[in-house]
Structures are given as C-alpha cells and as structure tokens.
A and B are shown apart, each in its own frame.
Chain A
Amino acid sequence: MNRGFTLAEVAVASVIILAVLATLGIALLSFVRGSRSLELQDGALTLARVEFAEMERAELFPEPGITTRPDSMWGNFYTVETTVIDYTENTYDVTVAVSAGDSVSIELSRRFYEYN
C-alpha cells in the first residue's frame, strides 16, 4: 500500500519527461532539416566551383549576358545561372549562382582579364 509513486509524483515526472522529449524531437527535426539544407548547399557550392574550374581549364568564357541551365549533384537538382558582364573594356565579371528551390542559393564571383 505504501509502495509506488503518488499520482502527483508521476504527473510531475511525466511533464518533465514530455517537455524534454519534445525539445529533443524539435532538435532532431531541426538537425535533419539542417543536414538536408547543408547537403543541398554543399552540392551547390561544388557545382559553382566546378563551373569556374571548367572555365579556367578550357580558357573559354561565356559571352556577356545571363545563361541558365539545370544540373544535378548527388541526386539533387539545381539551377545554375551564369551572369557575365563587361566590367571594363578588358575585364569580365562572371557570377555563378546555384540554387535548389527557394531556400538554397550559393553565389560566387570571378573577374577575368583579356590580355590582347
């Protein structure tokens, strides 16, 4: 008769455990969402870097203007937008923006010089 916990004890303990579990749930959810977003951003960053590396390797730069193309990385789909503007008579500013939906976007810039 005297063994066990009272209703009040159980109630207080349950509230604490529930509150803590809820916090953990939220943290887990946030971690999973964050990981997914990071994975997308990682892919976007890799695509942007590859885009510049390809331009430098081939020594070929796009014409002034905006070009857009779809691409994929690690099973995720992206839009790669390359903007080329004449910064001065002899220089071109190239900006590569890689996005996946509305939430993820990476933007990198590089300036190229014409030597002739």
Chain B
Amino acid sequence: MAIKQHWWKALGVALVLYSIVMGFLGTVPALWVLHETIRNLYFHVTMWFAMMTMLTISLGYSIAYLRNFKREYDVIATEAANIAMLFGAIGIVTGMAWANFTWGEPWPNDPKLNGVAVGMLAYVAYFILRASIDEISKRGRIAAVYNIFAWVMFLVFVNALPRMADDSMHPGQAANPGFGALAPGMRTVFYPGVVGWILVGIWLLNIRKRSREIEYKLLQNELN
C-alpha cells in the first residue's frame, strides 16, 4: 500500500459525490413497485461491490502472508476485513430500508439476506479467533488460514446458494432480470459509484494500516 500519489483519493471522493448527487437528481425509469426507490441501487448495491473487493484484498494479503510471513500483510488482511464489515453493515441497513418499501418488511426470508448475515458471522468468528491468540506470528498464520476458508464459504453463501435456492427475490436470481436489464442512464451513475466506493475503501484501508503501524512503533519504543 505504498501509493504516494493522492489523485486517486480525490477521484474516489469525486466519483462518490457524483453518484450521490446524480443518484438523487438524475432521471430514473418509472417502474412498477420500485418507483423512486430504484435510486437506492446507487447506495445499496455499490456497498456489496466494495465489500467483495475488500474481502478479496483481505484474501490476497492472507495468501501473501502465508507465503513470506511479513507482519504488514497480516495487518492489511485484518483491516481490509474490518472495512468490508463496515461496507456490509451499511449494505444491510440500506437493503433493509429498501426491502421495507418494496417487499413490505425489513427482513424477508430471502436466501441472499440470510447468506450475507451468516457470511458476516464467519468474519466475526475470524475476529474472535484473532483475539484469542496472543503471539503475533502464530495469530497471523492461523487467522490467515481461517480467512481463506471464510472467503470461500462467503462466496458459497452469497453466490452459489441463492442461485440454487431458486426462491430469491434479488435481481439476477431465479427468474429475475439481472444487471443486463439496468437502464443505460442508470449505468453511467452506478458504475462510477462502484469505482468511487472501492477507491474510498482502499483509502480507508491505507489510513487504518498506517495508524496500526504507528501503534506498533509506539509499542516497540515503549518496550525498548
């Protein structure tokens, strides 16, 4: 994460702001049931893209940690999972608000919802596992192994199972139309939003990682 330039941070903020402003002001097709709530797509769905990216970054650094045991890689893997949980929490809240309007209740019994909830539980277990081991290098190694497991299971939860279950109300599942049916005018807001949130996530990761490094150095100074 040794990116010294700052332009991408500005780009991330600009894209997020653009998607928020255009999300409220842009034209959207008038649809049955959805009406204006379709605008939530810009805020709800982007969260899952950002979350999945952060989880994959976390997976990548866990694999890298198992290859050469650099302490920084373990820090990045943890913090990426942390930020993914933040995105996931926002995704669940925006999704519940949306579901309340369109499906009539905040938590309908939908395989995608349940899958994400349990998938996030697996990551909570990951943090509990980390907290239960004191030795830094051992913690990194064992947590990395569990992280790889959790990522595979998360993919099974949010992608494979809802598709198999055949009764999900989410787009792209069962007989529902997927992203191919997205109106062209909405694509120019949605995809920049996705990129923006991912960049903001990487920025957050960068800050968290640096603050953890400072904490570590302070601890080292105290010990010496």
Report if A and B associate in a common complex. no
